[in-house]
């Protein structure tokens, strides 16, 4: 199809080559920060994009410069025939990298099939290595299934294997040392992520928000470590590695160290809306124009035009706009 010369450049000069696609808003877990009230308010199946619709959108994105795809959810492995969708995306010439964010529960079952379909790498959400705490935060999830999924990913070579840990003050700060030591033993990249105020009351968030400076304090007590040069897979993380470690660890600071100036991503919701920013409510609907290539091109350009300079997460007052009311499970993170 060939890339458009114009590309996806917003009003602030940021070039976008990365599309995160939520393929479902359903999940088999009900994590507290993702589903604050404990009940999934899932959309009707007929509102979800079909595989053909997703492929049409990705092809337009690829024409405009999209090179990286991340499949997200909800839990994307709940979507029927996901390997087939990945296989179809892999056939689009301009797409160089396909990643998956998953809770890991079904990785042991589907990992080999996903790899064969063309999946390049995985991010696995895991906020505790303690069985009781894991069961609490996920509302009855099984930690052993996730750990088996991680072993499967390692054995399949779905590298780099990233473990996403949302840090919460009263919940898992006391496990930071265990997560850090894990990176010495295994070829994984543990990424600590600041808790974000998405789709829930600000007081809930502020009570549990924990700056990531504590991770570096704990790391310094364990062993010497060095910063790692950023690569195209490191995203917004500041990455580090202990001497002679098999893995690495990263820090993602959406609140304390705003990284919006380097944002290169768009999000496609499961019901067919382009979100230029995770935090704000602004969206561009694609569902009604899916068969009109010209209008789809225009919709991508509109998303670029309405993209704000920064998200303002953590600010007491906002200069513009309204925060999204979608919960994280409906956006895809």
- Residues 99-112 have a mean pLDDT of 97
CB neighbours of residue 207 within 10 Å: 12
Confidence of residue 207 (pLDDT cuts 50, 70, 90): confident
CA dihedral in degrees (124, 129, 134, 140; nearest 10)? Answer: 80
Confidence of residue 31 (pLDDT cuts 50, 70, 90): confident
Residues 233, 99: Cα–Cα separation, whole Å: 10
Query: In which residue are the tokens 């595989």 written?
Result: 51
Chain-centre distance for alpha carbon 142? 21
Residue scoring higher pLDDT (25 or 35) = 25
Q: End-to-end CA distance of the chain, in Å?
A: 29
Between the CA of residue 193 and those of 149, 165, 206, what are the distances in Å? 21, 6, 15
The answer to whether residue 62 scores a pLDDT higher than 90 is: yes
Catalogue the long-range contacts made by 170-178 (C-beta closer than 8 Å, 24 or more residues apart).
170/207, 170/208, 171/127, 171/128, 171/133, 171/137, 171/208, 172/127, 172/128, 172/133, 172/137, 173/210, 173/214, 175/128, 175/129, 175/130, 175/133, 176/214, 176/215, 176/218, 177/218, 177/221, 177/222, 178/129
Q: Regarding beta strands 121-125 and 162-167, do their DSSP bridges make them parallel or antiparallel, or are they unpaired?
A: parallel
Confidence of residue 330 (pLDDT cuts 50, 70, 90): low
Residue scoring higher pLDDT (203 or 75) = 75
The model carries a pTM of 0.89
Domain 18-330: assigned CATH number: 3.20.20.70
Among 93-102, 106-115, 320-329, the range scoring the smallest mean pLDDT is 320-329
The per-residue pLDDT for 75 is: 95
Residues 331, 171: Cα–Cα separation, whole Å: 24
Query: In which residue are the tokens 């001497």 written?
Result: 243
**Where along the chain do its domains lie?**
18-330
The per-residue pLDDT for 281 is: 80
Among 55-64, 119-128, 280-289, 303-312, the range scoring the smallest mean pLDDT is 303-312
pLDDT tens per residue, range 164-204: 999 988 889 999 999 999 999 999 999 999 887 665 555 66
- Residues 123-130 have a mean pLDDT of 96
The per-residue pLDDT for 37 is: 76
Residue scoring higher pLDDT (187 or 40) = 187
**Do 92 and 31 meet the contact criterion of CB atoms below 8 Å apart?**
no
pLDDT tens per residue, range 236-295: 778 999 999 999 999 987 665 566 888 899 999 999 999 998 777 889 999 999 999 999
């Amino acid at each position: 199809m060939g890339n458009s010369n114009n590309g996806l450049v917003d009003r602030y000069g940021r070039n976008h080559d990365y599309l995160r696609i939520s393929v479902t808003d359903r999940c088999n877990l009900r994590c507290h920060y993702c589903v604050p009230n404990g009940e999934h308010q899932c959309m009707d199946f007929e509102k979800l994009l079909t595989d053909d619709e997703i492929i049409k959108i990705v092809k337009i994105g690829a024409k405009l410069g999209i090179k990286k795809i991340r499949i997200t959810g909800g839990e994307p492995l709940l979507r029927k025939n996901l390997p087939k969708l990945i296989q179809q995306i892999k056939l689009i010439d301009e797409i160089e990298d396909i990643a998956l964010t998953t809770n890991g529960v079904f990785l042991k079952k589907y990992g080999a099939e996903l790899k064969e379909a063309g999946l390049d790498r995985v991010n696995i959400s895991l906020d505790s290595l303690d069985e009781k705490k894991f069961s609490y935060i996920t509302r009855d999830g099984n930690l052993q299934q996730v750990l088996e999924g991680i072993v499967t990913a390692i054995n399949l070579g779905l590298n780099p294997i990233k473990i996403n840990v949302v840090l919460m003050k009263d919940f898992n700060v006391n496990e930071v040392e265990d997560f850090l030591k894990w990176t010495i033993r295994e070829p994984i990249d543990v990424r600590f992520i600041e808790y974000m105020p998405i789709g829930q009351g600000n007081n809930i968030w502020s009570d549990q928000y924990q700056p990531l400076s504590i991770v570096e304090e704990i790391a310094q007590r364990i062993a010497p470590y060095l910063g790692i040069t950023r690569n195209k897979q490191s995203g917004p993380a500041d990455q580090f590695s202990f001497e002679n470690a098999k893995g690495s660890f990263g820090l993602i600071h959406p609140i304390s160290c705003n990284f919006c100036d380097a944002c290169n991503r768009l999000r496609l919701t499961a019901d067919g809306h382009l979100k230029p920013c995770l935090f704000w409510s602004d969206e561009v609907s694609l569902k009604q124009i899916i068969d009109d290539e010209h209008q789809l091109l225009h919709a991508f350009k509109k998303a670029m035009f309405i993209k704000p300079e920064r998200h303002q997460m953590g600010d007491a007052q906002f200069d513009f706009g309204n925060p999204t009311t979608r919960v994280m499970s409906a956006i895809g993170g």
